[in-house]
Amino acid sequence: MTEINCAEMCQNGCVLGDECPNREYTQQASRFISDTPLDKLLEMADEAVRKKALERRSAPTQWILPED
């Protein structure tokens, strides 16, 4: 079986279909989404956004210097 980069190749859907090695995870994710109330999903998304924003604010400044 050919290995592919799913993050790049499967942006519009799985290109391997039934032969996808990550199919198990897709089923788990679908089950999680269908079993979790929308309010809980939104709460989790909001928390993730806040955490990411906090990480960006607390990260040290990176200086980009032009090359000579």
pLDDT tens over the chain, length 68 residues: 567 888 888 888 888 888 888 888 888 999 999 999 999 999 999 999 999 998 888 878 778 888 86
Concatenated DSSP letters for 1-68? -----HHHHTTTS-SSGGG-TTHHHHHHHHHHHHHS-HHHHHHHHHHHHHHHHHHHHHSPP---PPP-
Return d(Cα 55, Cα 35) in angstroms, integer: 30
Locate the domains of the chain by residue range.
6-56
pTM of the model: 0.55
pLDDT of residue 20: 86
What are 23-35's pLDDT values in tens digits?
888 889 999 999 9
